[in-house]
A and B are shown apart, each in its own frame.
Chain A
Amino acid sequence: MTAADDLAPAPATRTSALLAQIARPWPVRVAMALLATILLGAALAPLIAPQDPFDPATFDLFDNLLPPGGRAASGGRYWFGTDEQGRDIFSAILYGLRISLLVAVTSAAVAITIGVIIGLVSAYAGGRVDALLMRIVDIKLSFPTILIALVLVAVLGRGLDKTIFALIVTQWAYYARTVRGVALAEMGKNYIEAARVGGYGFRRILLVHLLPNCLAPVLAVVALQVGGAIALESTLSFLGLGVPVTKPSLGLLIANGFTFVMSGRYWISVFPGLALILLVISITVLSDRVREILRPSERGAG
């Protein structure tokens, strides 16, 4: 939300009015509260988590596979249960969230930069450059993201940086297409014409004139894409092709617990899964609402 606040061209009163408008339906308010809670939990993980899941000295092997609410050997309670090593699931979720969010946000930031540049250049240059770039985007978008990510990981191997790279490759095209569409409409307006007549260079027109006017629709797509990135990262990690075991994201936690699901020890998978689903759903609800307000003509469109 802070990014939207900073970039909104309107004065503060209009920004808060916009926020109020966004938050009007109750599901959106619930989603905002949920998202804030989750983000706060992830940010403050070292302070509020009872254990450090990366430090085996802080957990007790005698507490392994305790159900939710189980009593620890030391007297406390594990409200979310423990895994086979006696690790507190609640702490693991808080730290797992950090890794999931880190991967998703970093990859989204790089993908946005690449996508915005390609979109702007495509719209500004037009003609063959535009046709070529958009054809590449078309081809890229016609393949399922999971397949592209799988192949990249197959080729590159497993790791935090490689997962981020795979997510960048799967995401940039959406931004490129969105930006190009908006920029194309902006290109026809008088201020661009004026800047051209004024003799400004290609780079200045692109960055100072065109870019700021194309950002609002991009921001609307960002949230949706970040949600998608979180889901995709967790899928890769669940399949054992994402983040390394030393950096367990939510997807990896769910995968670890999956072996115990069959024997009825649901909590090791289910609680990280719930955290993941709540996170993605609240992002989706929020971004749907933002898009609805920013682009009233597309109301209800997927």
Chain B
Amino acid sequence: MAAFLFSRLLQGLLVLFVMSLLVFTSVFAIGNPVDVLIAAEATQEDREAMILRLGLDQPLVVQYFIFLKGLLSGDGGRSFAHDVPAVSLIAARFPATLELALVAMVMAVTAGLPLGLIAAMRPRSWIARMALGYSTLGFSVPTFGVAITLILVFAVGLGWLPSSGRGPVTQVLGFPTSLATAAGWQYIALPATTLAIFKIALLIRIVHASTREVIAADFVRFARAKGVPDGRVNTHHVLRNSLIPVVTVLALEFGGLLAFAVVTETIFAWPGVGRLLLESITLLDRPVIVAYLMATVLVFVTINFIVDALYAVLDPRVRVAGSDR
């Protein structure tokens, strides 16, 4: 067990290192941020001063080591556009994204889990048909399509909900949040729903598929044959087994939410990290792009590690099978 986790930890660190190399070279090798950042009428001296200040005169290898050193000391370079450490920029925007992702996730689980279970356990009911039809629909419509539809209906048409910004932000336990006020909830409603609609569709599919598989398994049929009551079979035999893959997918999807927020945050002008990334891409603010990507890689590697560990705890077979992967 410990050996398995240790090998996974090493793999994770390796992925981090490889990604830092990949991200750095790809982002820093192409495009000239000076062209974007500096006014067209700037003199040659201004340009050179800027290049010197940003450290762009150094060879790429030197730039990489400076970047790596900064990364390890938690700095990660200064933003070209904002002239503050990129990491602090991301840290300042992260609570908004986290808040959005958490609300969306809670919405997705409360709706998707029961619908998926009903669809699997009562395949002929109309709820099952509706749920599966919805999952096809929710799967196909791109995020921005959902966002525009919601804005048209609830912001423009009915005028019930605001469609842009985060609303009033208050400090709760030292964290800035918009969830402490009713107005804040109005602001988060549309972006969170946008994110949740896709996740509900995904959850219905996964819960449905994995529950169907378990229901057909021999041990469930044996339990039924033995005369165990239906309700007990469902809670003790089916759910316990069918929800293991769901838990892991949920963990991975949470990481996905943080990244998918790019589109949603941009449309709803939500001041999170996703919007920061898009702004940085248009400004060619390399340190922020790199810091964002490294933060995302870190989140993903961490989540992957937790999922692996969780799997090893929940399902002993993985430990054996995992050793040759």
Contacts and interface: CB of A to CB of B under 8 A. Distances in A.
Contact of B152 (A27, A154, A238, A270): A270
A262 B263 contact: no
Interface in B189-228: 202, 205-206, 208-209, 212-213
A254 B144 contact: yes
A142 B300 contact: yes
Contacts of B296: 143, 147
Given A151-B289, A301-B209, A277 B141 contact: yes
B263 A146 contact: yes
Interface in B262-308: 262-263, 266-267, 277-278, 281-282, 284, 289, 293, 296, 300, 304
B205 A302 contact: yes
Contacts of A262: 151, 155-156, 163
Given A142-B252, A258-B148, A156 B209 contact: no
B205 A281 contact: no
A144 B252 CA distance: 10
B30 A234 contact: no
A261 B300 contact: no
A266 B152 contact: yes
Interface residues of A, number: 45
Interface in A1-42: 27
Contact of B260 (A142, A144, A280): A144
A302 B209 contact: yes
Contacts of B281: 150, 153-154, 241
A280 B206 CA distance: 20
B95 to A, nearest CB: 20
A61 interface: no
A264 B156 contact: yes
Given A154-B289, A261-B151, A285-B136, A277 B145 contact: yes
A239 B278 contact: yes
A254 B282 CA distance: 20
Interface string B248-262: 000010011001101
Contacts of B260: 144, 146
B322 interface: no
B142 A234 contact: yes
Contacts of B31: 155, 157
Contact of B263 (A239, A254, A285): A239
A284 interface: yes
A254 B143 CA distance: 13
B139 interface: yes
Q: What is the predominant secondary structure among interface residues of chain B facing chain A?
A: helix
Contacts, number: 111
Contacts of B148: 254, 258, 261, 269-270, 273
Nearest to B202: A302
A40 to B, nearest CB: 21
Contacts of B163: 262
A144 B208 CA distance: 23
Given A157-B31, A235-B263, A151 B140 contact: no
B266 A239 contact: yes
A83 interface: no
Given A155-B31, A281-B137, A142 B209 contact: no
Interface residues of B, number: 50
Interface in B126-157: 133, 136-137, 139-145, 148-149, 151-152, 155-156
Contact of A284 (B139, B213, B300, B325): B139
A261 B149 CA distance: 10
B144 A235 contact: yes
A131 B325 CA distance: 7
B15 interface: yes
Contact of B145 (A241, A276, A300): A276
Contacts of B213: 301
Interface in A265-293: 266, 269-270, 273, 276-277, 280-281, 283-285, 288
Contacts of B208: 300
A208 interface: no
B26 interface: yes
Given A235-B263, A254-B148, A281 B293 contact: no
B259 A146 contact: yes
Contacts of B277: 150
A151 B293 contact: yes
B239 interface: no
A242 to B, nearest CB: 12
Interface of B: 15, 23, 26-27, 30-31, 133, 136-137, 139-145, 148-149, 151-152, 155-156, 163, 202, 205-206, 208-209, 212-213, 252, 255-256, 259-260, 262-263, 266-267, 277-278, 281-282, 284, 289, 293, 296, 300, 304, 325
5 contacts: A146-B263, A151-B23, A262-B156, A284-B140, A301-B209
Interface of A: 27, 131, 139, 142-144, 146-147, 150-151, 153-157, 227, 231-232, 234-235, 238-241, 251, 254, 258, 261-262, 264, 266, 269-270, 273, 276-277, 280-281, 283-285, 288, 300-302
Given A261-B151, A281-B136, A281-B140, 17 more contacts: A27-B133, A143-B296, A147-B262, A147-B296, A151-B23, A154-B284, A155-B31, A231-B142, A239-B278, A261-B152, A266-B152, A276-B142, A280-B140, A283-B140, A301-B209, A301-B212, A302-B202
**What 9 pairs between A and B have smallest CB-CB spacing?**
A302-B205, A154-B281, A231-B142, A281-B140, A301-B209, A280-B140, A144-B259, A147-B259, A284-B140
